[in-house]
Amino acid sequence: MAVAVVPEPVTDGVVDAPTGWLEEVLAGLACGVVECASPRDAVEVPDGVRIDRIARLERIKAAAAALQMAESVRFAQSQAKTQLAADVHPDKIGRGIADQLGLACHVSGFEAARRLGTARALWFELPETYRLLVEGEISEYVASIVVSETRHLDAATRREVDRKITSAGIAQMGPRSAAACARKHAYDADAAGYVQRGRTERKNRRVSLRPAPDTMSFLSGYLPAEQGVACLKSLRDHTDAVKAAGDRRCRDQIMADTLVERITGQTSAPDVSAEVQIMMPLDALLDANNYSPADLDGYGPLPADLARDILATSKGRLWWRRLYAAPEGGPLAGGNPFRRRFDGFLRKLIMLRDRRCRDVL
């Protein structure tokens, strides 16, 4: 159970000075949006002025992120101090802090804890990088990269690396160059620790799947560097050979299809098996004019047309299972523990006889 000491709310409409000017900044930004949307602004403001505005807004974003980090660190310190004064058990000191920050930032407690860790690292151990963030010279993303690339170093070594990467001109670098710079100096500062970190991190290798827009998904592999490079090289070499043979697909399509085929063992990437837990209302499966979405387990809603296409065109193994749902879109109430598969001559016979499924599952 989380332990939290909730701060006292501001009473009688009294607002402290920083909160007051933050409200003024928000009001000013809102006015700027209204002004930018006006027809007069679209005609009278030169493009050079707009570029200057965009650059200033980017610096404001960075400075706002730095201030939010500072407030988060101070809030965590205050909460820990209050918990100590309230005689909270030492093992529970700090619990609930990330949850409160998450509510304030509209993110999960896990994400809030990650942000707080980044803020503490910049505040206490990477002062030069934090200074660049305050001044708007680097983005919050670049600052987080520096934190990540130096996380295995002790505080003193981390400060030394911080000074070196600042002197190397990290403020003028893009994210990839900044990451390479921080990685190089972190390695030079503690080569043995860097190697040990690389060895121990390999036990965390994994594969994950995340939904993407437009019925797509991101399949990611967190792999040792040499294995990731080998996988990509193999896909590229195969793509070169297929393109040379006259395949009309683009290179990215060939690489994606080859990845699916090699992992699943399918001859063709679209030939997925129907027992991928595609569930949809019976009337949506049978009625081409019904657009109720299917549900793809591990992904989410899938348009009914696309689900029907998968079932109609896939050359993979197709199974059916009886599922019983409450009427009017209610939840599943039960199902048959056995699945059925119609193939060979029986499948052809049913297709010739019915053209389409005529019986209730």
The per-residue pLDDT string of the chain (361 residues; one tens digit each, 9 = 90 and over) reads 445 555 555 545 566 888 889 999 999 999 999 989 888 888 888 999 999 999 999 999 999 999 999 999 999 999 999 999 988 888 888 899 999 999 999 999 999 999 999 999 999 999 999 999 999 999 999 999 999 999 989 999 999 999 999 999 999 999 999 999 999 999 999 988 887 888 888 899 999 998 888 888 999 999 988 899 999 999 999 999 999 999 999 999 999 999 999 988 877 777 666 543 445 555 555 566 666 666 666 666 777 677 767 666 666 666 666 665 555 656 666 666 776 666 667 666 766 776 655 544 3
Q: Which amino acid is at 171?
A: A
Q: What is the 3-state secondary structure (H, E, C) of the chain?
A: CCCCCCCCCCCCCCCCHHHHHHHHHHHHHHHHHHHHCCHHHHHHCCHHHHHHHHHHHHHHHHHHHHHHHHHHHHHHHHHHHHHHHCCCCHHHCCCCHHHHHHHHHCCCHHHHHHHHHHHHHHHHCCHHHHHHHHCCCCCHHHHHHHHHHCCCCCHHHHHHHHHHHHHCCHHHCCHHHHHHHHHHHHHHHCHHHHHHHHHHHHHHCEEEEEEECCCEEEEEEECCHHHHHHHHHHHHHHHHHHHHCCCCCCHHHHHHHHHHHHHHCCCCCCCCCCCCCEECCHHHHHCCCCCCCEEECCCEEECHHHHHHHHHHCCCCCCECCEEECCCCCCEEEECCCCECCCHHHHHHHHHHHCCCCCCC
So what's the pLDDT on residue 44? 86
Lateral strand order in the sheet of 278-279: 278-279, 294-296, 300-302
So what's the pLDDT on residue 277? 43
So what's the pLDDT on residue 197? 81
Tokens 């499966």 belong to 285
Q: How long, in residues, is the chain?
A: 361
For 132, half-sphere exposure in the C-beta direction (CA atoms, 13 angstrom radius) is: 23
Contact 255, 235 (CB under 8 A): yes
Q: How far from 51 is each of 46, 48, 57, 170, 345, CA to CA, in Å?
A: 9, 5, 10, 22, 68
So what's the pLDDT on residue 112? 95
So what's the pLDDT on residue 107? 94
Domain boundaries, the chain: 17-203, 207-264, 278-354
Look up the pTM and report it.
Answer: 0.66
Other C-beta atoms lying within 10 Å of the C-beta of residue 22: 14
So what's the pLDDT on residue 293? 65
d(CA 292, CA 301): 9
Tens-digit pLDDT profile for residues 79-101: 999 999 988 888 888 899 999 99
d(CA 190, CA 183): 11
So what's the pLDDT on residue 18? 86
d(CA 341, CA 338): 10
Tens-digit pLDDT profile for residues 59-82: 999 999 999 999 999 999 999 999
